[in-house]
Structure 1
Amino acid sequence: MKLYTHPLSGHSHRAALFLALVGVDADIVNVDLAAGEHKSEEFLALNRFGQLPVLVDGDTVIADSNAILTYVAKKFGRNDWLPEAPAAAAAVQRWLSVAAGQIAFGPAAARLITVFGAGYNAEEVIARAHAVLAVIEEELDGKNWIIGGGQPTIADVALYSYIARAPEGNVDLSAYPRVNAWLEQIEALSGFVSFQQTEVGLAKAA
């Protein structure tokens, strides 16, 4: 397997993190975004959208981080991470959608401003970040993991990276004790690999 990534991409990290958590070795290929490698003819043959990450498993090419989580869980029969029961599978899918929606347009977008100089409205995306964090804080009431139960799922992995690095986008996590406890639980999992930190935003002062 090869995983095409960038060390500062939260989408890339969630894919790399899950591979590590389930003990799957993959060759990591770092794509130079600054040099435009993600827009090269070679890379666009893997993902026409020119986005990271991309997983190559023999003749199978999987683009999109959440699709990679699903593929890896299915390929290796990890029903503990992606349950088969209809209600539990639907609950996982709900939070994968949140990761692709509210997380991407909230904490991830806020971080894009400080790390990559994206031209988003900081006040707007930080407000979106706090809105979704407030929902997750309530969702975690009485739960160790986002869909409940005694173990994490790929939904937790999908949410983790951009929430963990939200302070880099000037999103303060101090008002969310359950979220912080949940982050610590993920970081304590066997096989956990950290998302590279960047000293920007609130992280610079920490």
Structure 2
Amino acid sequence: MSAVKLYTFPLSGHAHRVRLALSLLHVPTDLIEVDLRKGEQKSAEFLAMNPFGQVPVIEDAGVVLADSNAILVYLARRYGNADWLPSDAVGEAAVQRWLSVAAGLVAFGPAAARLVTVFGAGFKAEEVIARAHGLLAVMDRELSHKAFLIGAKPSIADIANYSYIAHAPEGNVSLEAYPNVRAWLARIEALPGFVAMQKTPVGLAA
């Protein structure tokens, strides 16, 4: 199996999703760092791979793909099994629901709160922190009766949501009130092949 090239940035939760998936699926990977702070994602070479100028991007045997959730679907189908992305209608819809959460409520809640502290983004901190807690309350209730987001086994739904939830304290979002969420994070971190995202000592993680 030839290595998949992953264009990444160490502090990007979107890029970490893909790195985590590749590692959990035991796919050989070459990491190519794109320095977002220097604007390397806006170079002509990078924009040819992803016109939106965002990491992650993968190259896999001539296939070039951008968008973290799209890449997760691709990797699950190409290298995984039906546990990671079910092929039945109900199971696939359950995964899609959580991919939408990752792209919506997570992105504009805990991820946005972290962008304020790590990158100085201009979001209203109190607004995105409140949105994060609303999401975490729902997740905690749903995880009260199952080990992972769609059932007893991990799927790309868990990978898509893990990174920014795990690093929510960096954005001043405490996980203390959500024991089921914290237990879910621990179960993901115990999976063979788990790889952590680089920590940033800011917010509640300082």
- Same-fold status (TM-score > 0.5): yes
- Equivalent in the alignment of 1:158: 160
- Equivalent in the alignment of 1:24: 27
Partners of 2:61 and 2:85 lie apart in 1 by 23
Q: How does 1:74-153 map to 2 (within 5 A)?
A: 74-148=77-151, 150-153=152-155
Q: Which blocks of at least 5 consecutive residues in structure 1 are unaligned?
A: none
User: Which 4+ stretches in 1 moved above 2 angstroms?
Assistant: none
Per-residue deviation, 1:58: 2.5
Partners of 1:35 and 1:151 lie apart in 2 by 40
Partners of 2:79 and 2:189 lie apart in 1 by 22
Q: How does 1:27-106 map to 2 (within 5 A)?
A: 27-106=30-109
Query: What is the DSSP-based 3-state SS (H/G/I as helix, E as strand, rest coil) of the residue aligned with 1:34?
Result: helix
Give yes or no for contact 2:24–2:191 (8 Å, CA) kept in 1. yes
Partners of 1:76 and 1:175 lie apart in 2 by 36
Partners of 1:84 and 1:76 lie apart in 2 by 14
Per-residue deviation, 1:109: 0.2
Per-residue deviation, 1:77: 4.4
Per-residue deviation, 1:26: 1.3
What does the per-residue CA deviation read over 1:125-172, in whole Å, with 9 as the maximum and x for residues that have no partner? Answer: 001100111110111121101111x21000000000000000000000
Query: What is the DSSP-based 3-state SS (H/G/I as helix, E as strand, rest coil) of the residue aligned with 2:91?
Result: helix
Partners of 2:38 and 2:143 lie apart in 1 by 41
- Equivalent in the alignment of 2:197: 195
Partners of 1:127 and 1:157 lie apart in 2 by 23
TM-score norm. by structure 1 comes to 0.97
Q: Which blocks of at least 5 consecutive residues in structure 2 are unaligned?
A: none
In structure 2, what residue type is equivalent to 1:65? S
RMSD: 0.7
Partners of 1:138 and 1:65 lie apart in 2 by 26
- Between the two proteins, the alignment pairs up a number of residues equal to 203
In structure 1, what residue type is equivalent to 2:186? E
Per-residue deviation, 1:52: 0.7
Among candidates 183, 186, 206, match of residue 184 of structure 1: 186
Partners of 1:112 and 1:77 lie apart in 2 by 31
What does the per-residue CA deviation read over 1:54-109, in whole Å, with 9 as the maximum and x for residues that have no partner? Answer: 01112211100011110011112422210111101100000000000000000000
What does the per-residue CA deviation read over 1:161-192, in whole Å, with 9 as the maximum and x for residues that have no partner? Answer: 00000000000000000000000000000000
In structure 1, what residue type is equivalent to 2:65? I
Partners of 1:177 and 1:80 lie apart in 2 by 25
- Equivalent in the alignment of 1:3: 6
